[in-house]
Chain A
């Protein structure tokens, strides 16, 4: 962002591309799957982030700044569509929350990462790493041996870590 503020178009493009993915998740989660609306909002938020880039103060964290703009655009969207959207009561708090944007992004990232695994590995990963089943329980649920589960989970972890590393480079 600092490079983008200095007028580096390439850095700006990289930043916006990265943000586009995060924002897509952020909006998708809160709009319960109207794809065009999500994409519209992603573009609106990116545009706003670009136009308002001077208001980012490099002395502070970037993420709260970007998500505050995204949240502002989301609320603006709800206001324009006139409350026709039902926000589940569980999610209503998040609209009002001022300061926990990352959590949703993290959850979303985990889901999108898991989606890259073949179905069987994905189910095992979810059971063992997210749902908190023991290896033996997961083995029972999947009808596999405990050793096979261990190997599968280990391979999944390795693969995901490699993919995340590759993306961050």
Chain B
């Protein structure tokens, strides 16, 4: 086929108007839908903790804040990565790094004030074995929803886009998991929530080149 024929065919048969897609306007709803699915799965499998009490607790909001900051960082980065030729967004990186630094400062602060006998409870809680895995599992539906949208956009760096989609999914999944998880110590969150989110980003990076090619 000659290139000129291709052009003529494209312009003649398939020139429907398109709305310029601001990536955020498509990615954020997808992520929310995924998060709702994850919340539904959580409700079915584990149930929620009594939220009326938790909503008054500062530790509940600490976990939600950290998780959502990670998700926001992922979203901001992903918006750039979904558009060819866009420069990387430093706002996303800054939010991610700041959230991580803040939670670790809170963790060190809490751990140093506590006595030696309480260190294990602070760092391991009662659910450290399960926490990262559950976050990773809850991230799956969110990652899937985000990837479905991302495929219709145009990411050109697939590993990075996959990792960032994983970060977004992991952050939201951790926020959803916070509806169940009653761990209240900053050190626990700094280690195990971070690990779950990081695992999600890692899996996302590995799947990215396969799922996102176009």
Contacts and interface: CB of A to CB of B under 8 A. Distances in A.
A9 B12 contact: yes
Interface in B151-168: 153-154, 156
Nearest to A23: B3
A55 B23 contact: yes
Interface stretch (B83-91, B100-108, B126-134, B190-198): B83-91
Interface residues of B, number: 30
B21 A54 contact: yes
B85 A67 contact: yes
Interface in A23-64: 39, 42-43, 46-48, 50, 52-58, 60-61, 63-64
A43 B6 CA distance: 7
A72 B15 contact: no
Interface string A3-22: 01111111011001100100
> Chain A at the B interface: mostly helix, strand, loop or mixed?
helix
A99 to B, nearest CB: 7
B3 A46 contact: yes
Contact of B84 (A9, A50, A55): A55
Contacts of A6: 17
A9 B15 contact: yes
A65 B84 CA distance: 5
A61 B21 CA distance: 15
A54 B82 CA distance: 12
A8 B7 CA distance: 13
A63 to B, nearest CB: 8
A76 interface: yes
A60 B86 contact: yes
Contacts of A57: 20-22, 83
A53 B154 CA distance: 9
Interface residues of A, number: 39
A69 B3 contact: no
Contact of B15 (A7, A20, A58, A61): A7
A46 B11 CA distance: 11
A75 to B, nearest CB: 8
Contact of B17 (A7, A13, A60): A7
Given A5-B17, A5-B18, A76-B213, A68 B7 contact: no
B83 A46 contact: no
Interface string B1-27: 101101110111011111111110000
Contact of B3 (A10, A20, A64): A20
Interface of B: 1, 3-4, 6-8, 10-12, 14-23, 82-87, 153-154, 156, 213-214
Given A46-B3, A54-B20, A60-B86, 5 more contacts: A39-B3, A43-B1, A56-B83, A65-B83, A68-B84
5 contacts: A13-B11, A54-B21, A56-B83, A65-B84, A68-B156
Question: 9 closest pairs, A vs B, by CB?
Answer: A7-B17, A64-B85, A68-B85, A68-B84, A9-B15, A13-B11, A54-B18, A72-B156, A9-B11
